[in-house]
């Protein structure tokens, strides 16, 4: 192979001028003001910004829309569409050169986008985690301590919204973007610019949500229920814009994933040879493509109610707040599986590697993933059991919710049978996978209480449901997110993470996660309501226990952060190309993977799970990668 090395780097001032993050931020701020003044010019004569008490919702919406457009212009996202409008032909790639600069702008290398996602989502995950710490700090005492009721609600809302919105792309963003093209033997995603756009839209969304505190926050929690929504201060607009942008990002991410998997698989990679991780991505992506547009639609209605005086959700104006609740949960429940399914897929992908056995029941596992995907559309009204829905609807939704445990059980069976009589290696990624079994089992079993109408009526608004979804989402997704980090980051960066620190991180996280959330089941049964920062004095001991555990859980995240920075920035121990002796194709490539992935498109002749079934598959010599040595 003849490779062209990137030319000598220009001076730093030259690199700062051009389409990059810095320009994006500058134009984003400029666009914000253009939108703000523009909307004021349209709606009214007032130009007294910030000190303005008669601001209007339109100005807030237009300011942020202007900001996002400016941000994207600064990053260079409008150059290509502009050239296409002038008639220039299509192209695929931009700025796939070497060097650091590509991480701070529009880059169409799927591996760069994956790493951008990892750091970007990590940043907002950290902010969301800090919110959680503040919430638990407030709950150390049963009466008001630091925050007012409104501020406390904003903290709860920001934590929930940030985590749900960002972590929806928590696996697909970093890991699927990085790995799916490699796993299917392709050199790119179907639409590389769209792939980059999904990341930068999500970052813009995160920044918008963070600024809600300048506009009075929002009192609705992550669900944004009406009529609180339409009555809230301008901070609510930030929530609406955040979720709408995250929804657009999710839709495009899902679309890109499906198009990639369906149209770009290498020769020989039949559906039944597809890595189970890719099946998980495909299931999740299909939910994203279909569910996120409903979210965008309902938030658009909400924005119109606030800015254009429509009455979608106002009963006195011919609307209904139940409309919001229904549409939100048509998205909201598939969203739960958008979060959970990638976790299932990671566990099933990693278990064979560390049990040294083929994946048990591959077809059953695929059926489980697809079954969950299908059934997740039929359960949304269980979120409305206590909202006064027609009683006749309850049995159906109770049954459909409980049915979903069957395909979920397939995943459990396949995982457990893969472990059975395996030669298990207790590496850090494997420990996180094993923890998933315990956590998700508790999350699933407590879910039965919430799917049954009689028990749901008593537990719905309490900390019980909060404990349940933290067991499923944090126990199911975040643990597997860390499994994926420890498993794939050495491949992605070329540097090894410290194993001892990783194990300390795991054990502290596992112990304090359970110590934080298990008592919340009891607190919920004792009727402590969610989203309120005062509670009965008799519950103070349990609450203090939970808060202290939560602080320790937060500390375990700092151990991880230290490990990451220490290992990648200071120790820099080179990772082996295949540190886990995996048979998956990404581990047959050098670390980090070259820009073009493969010299020749590989030909697949088997699935990647044949541990103990002879030598490495044939596709390795057929697709011999271009090394960097």
Q: Which of residues 146-205 bind another protein (CB under 8 A)?
A: 187, 190-191
Helices 479-493 and 110-138: angle between axes, nearest 10 degrees: 140
> Based on CB atoms, which residue is closest to another protein, 23 or 411?
23
CB 611 within 8 A of CB 357: yes
Least CB distance to another protein at residue 568 (A): 6
d(CA 377, CA 283): 13
Least CB distance to another protein at residue 567 (A): 11
The residue range among 87-95, 209-217, 221-229, 499-507 that interacts with another protein, by the rule CB under 8 A, is 87-95
> Based on CB atoms, which residue is closest to another protein, 154 or 223?
223
> Which positions from 287 through 306 interact with another protein, judged by CB under 8 A?
289-294, 296-298, 300-301, 304-305
Task: For residue 462, give the DSSP letter.
Answer: B
CB 40 within 8 A of CB 71: no
Instruction: List all residues 6 or more positions away from 77 whose beta carbon is below 8 Å from its beta carbon.
Output: 106, 193, 196, 197, 200
> Based on CB atoms, which residue is closest to another protein, 312 or 609?
312
> Based on CB atoms, which residue is closest to another protein, 161 or 591?
591
The residue range among 2-10, 380-388, 417-425, 478-486 that interacts with another protein, by the rule CB under 8 A, is 2-10
Return phi, psi of residue 618, to 5°: -65, -25
> Based on CB atoms, which residue is closest to another protein, 295 or 350?
295
d(CA 112, CA 115): 5
Q: Work out which of 395, 572, 616, 621 binds another protein, going by CB under 8 A.
A: 572
How far does CA 535 lie from the centroid of its chain? 32
Question: Is the Cα torsion angle 366, 368, 371, 377 positive or negative in sign?
Answer: negative
Least CB distance to another protein at residue 215 (A): 23
CB 193 within 8 A of CB 108: yes
CB 278 within 8 A of CB 198: no
Tokens 């942020």, residue located: 64
Task: For residue 296, give the DSSP letter.
Answer: H
d(CA 250, CA 172): 9
Q: Work out which of 11, 86, 391, 629 binds another protein, going by CB under 8 A.
A: 86
Least CB distance to another protein at residue 262 (A): 5
Residue window 258-277: x/- pattern of binding to another protein, with contact defined by CB under 8 A? xxx-xxx-------------
Site size for another protein, by CB under 8 A? 83
Residues in the chain: 629
> Based on CB atoms, which residue is closest to another protein, 94 or 138?
94
Q: Work out which of 10, 47, 84, 561 binds another protein, going by CB under 8 A.
A: 84
143 binds another protein (CB under 8 A): no
CA distances from 376 to 11, 450, 474, 626 (A): 53, 15, 19, 42
> Based on CB atoms, which residue is closest to another protein, 87 or 612?
87
> Based on CB atoms, which residue is closest to another protein, 459 or 597?
597
> Which positions from 440 through 469 interact with another protein, judged by CB under 8 A?
none
d(CA 430, CA 558): 21
Least CB distance to another protein at residue 144 (A): 37
d(CA 425, CA 234): 53
> Which positions from 375 through 434 interact with another protein, judged by CB under 8 A?
none
How far does CA 562 lie from the centroid of its chain? 22
> Based on CB atoms, which residue is closest to another protein, 143 or 390?
390
Is residue 227 reached through a cis peptide bond, with omega within 30 degrees of 0 on the bond before it?
Answer: yes
Residue window 242-261: x/- pattern of binding to another protein, with contact defined by CB under 8 A? ---------x---x--xxx-
Return phi, psi of residue 117, to 5°: -60, -45
231 binds another protein (CB under 8 A): no
80 binds another protein (CB under 8 A): yes
327 binds another protein (CB under 8 A): yes
> Based on CB atoms, which residue is closest to another protein, 297 or 548?
297
DSSP helix/strand/coil, 374: helix
- The b/e string for 108-140 (b: 16+ C-beta within 10 A; e otherwise) is bbbbbbbbbbbebbbebbebbbebbbbbbbbbe
The three state secondary structure string of 159-207 is: HHHHHHHHHCCCCHHHHHHHHHHHHCCCCCCCCHHHHHHHHHHHHHHHH
The residue range among 96-104, 211-219, 356-364, 496-504 that interacts with another protein, by the rule CB under 8 A, is 96-104
Least CB distance to another protein at residue 380 (A): 12
> Based on CB atoms, which residue is closest to another protein, 91 or 555?
91
363 binds another protein (CB under 8 A): no
> Based on CB atoms, which residue is closest to another protein, 30 or 594?
594
How far does CA 409 lie from the centroid of its chain? 23
> Which positions from 483 through 522 interact with another protein, judged by CB under 8 A?
493-495
> Which positions from 104 through 123 interact with another protein, judged by CB under 8 A?
115
Q: Work out which of 22, 38, 65, 79 binds another protein, going by CB under 8 A.
A: 79
Q: Work out which of 211, 594, 610, 624 binds another protein, going by CB under 8 A.
A: 594
């Amino acid at each position: 192979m003849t490779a062209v090395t990137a030319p000598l780097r220009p001076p730093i001032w030259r690199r700062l001028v051009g389409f990059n993050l810095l320009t994006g931020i500058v134009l984003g701020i400029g666009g914000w003001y253009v939108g703000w003044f523009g909307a004021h010019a349209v709606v009214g004569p007032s130009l007294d910004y910030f000190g303005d008490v008669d601001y209007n919702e339109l100005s807030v919406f237009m300011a942020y829309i202007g900001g996002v457009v400016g941000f994207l212009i600064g990053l260079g996202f409008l150059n290509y569409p502009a050239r296409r409008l002038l008639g220039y032909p299509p192209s695929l790639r931009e700025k796939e050169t070497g060097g650091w600069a590509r991480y701070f702008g529009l880059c169409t290398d799927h591996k760069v986008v994956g790493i951008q996602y990892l750091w970007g989502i990590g940043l907002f995950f950290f902010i969301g985690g800090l919110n959680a710490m503040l919430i638990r700090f407030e709950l150390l005492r049963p009466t008001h301590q630091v925050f007012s009721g409104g501020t406390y609600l904003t903290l709860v809302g920001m934590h929930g919204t940030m985590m749900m919105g960002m972590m929806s792309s928590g696996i697909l963003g970093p890991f699927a973007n990085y790995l799916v093209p490699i796993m299917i033997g392709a050199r790119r995603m179907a639409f590389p610019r769209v792939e980059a756009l999904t990341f930068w839209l999500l970052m813009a969304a995160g920044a918008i949500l963070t600024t809600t505190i300048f506009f009075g926050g929002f009192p609705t929690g992550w669900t944004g229920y009406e009529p609180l929504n339409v009555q809230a201060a301008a901070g609510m607009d930030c929530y609406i814009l955040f979720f709408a942008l995250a929804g657009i990002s999710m839709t495009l991410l899902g679309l890109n994933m499906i198009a990639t998997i369906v149209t770009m698989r290498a020769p020989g990679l039949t559906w039944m040879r597809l890595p189970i991780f890719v099946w998980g991505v495909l299931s999740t992506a299909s939910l994203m493509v279909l569910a996120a547009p409903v979210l965008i639609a309902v938030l658009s209605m909400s924005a119109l109610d606030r800015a254009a005086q429509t009455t979608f959700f106002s009963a006195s104006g011919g609307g209904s707040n139940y409309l919001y609740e229904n549409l939100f949960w048509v998205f909201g429940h598939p969203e739960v599986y958008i979060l959970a399914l990638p976790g299932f897929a990671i566990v099933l992908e990693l278990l064979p590697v560390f049990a040294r056995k083929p994946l048990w029941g591959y077809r059953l596992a695929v059926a489980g993933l697809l079954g969950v995907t299908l059934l997740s559309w039929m359960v949304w009204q269980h979120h409305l059991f206590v909202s006064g829905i027609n009683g006749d609807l309850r049995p159906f939704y109770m049954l459909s919710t409980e049915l979903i445990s069957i395909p979920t059980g397939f995943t459990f069976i396949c995982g457990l049978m893969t472990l059975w009589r395996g030669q298990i290696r207790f590496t850090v990624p494997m420990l996180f996978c094993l923890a998933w079994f315990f956590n998700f089992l508790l999350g699933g079993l407590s879910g039965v209480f919430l799917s049954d109408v009689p028990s749901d009526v008593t537990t719905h608004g309490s900390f019980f449901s909060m404990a349940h979804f933290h067991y499923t989402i944090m126990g199911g997704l975040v643990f597997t997110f860390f499994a994926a980090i420890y498993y794939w980051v050495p491949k992605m960066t070329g540097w090894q993470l410290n194993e001892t620190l990783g194990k300390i991180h795991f054990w502290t996280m596992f112990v304090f996660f359970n110590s934080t959330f298990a008592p919340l089941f009891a607190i919920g049964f004792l009727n402590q309501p969610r989203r309120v920062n005062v509670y009965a004095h008799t519950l103070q001991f349990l609450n203090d226990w939970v808060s202290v555990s939560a602080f320790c859980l937060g500390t375990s995240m700092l151990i991880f952060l230290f490990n990451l920075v220490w290992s990648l920035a200071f120790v820099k121990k080179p990772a082996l190309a295949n540190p886990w002796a995996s048979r998956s194709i990404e581990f047959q490539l050098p670390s980090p993977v070259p820009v073009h992935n493969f010299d020749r498109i590989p030909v697949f002749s088997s699935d990647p799970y044949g541990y103990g079934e002879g030598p490495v598959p044939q596709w390795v010599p057929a697709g011999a990668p271009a090394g960097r040595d």
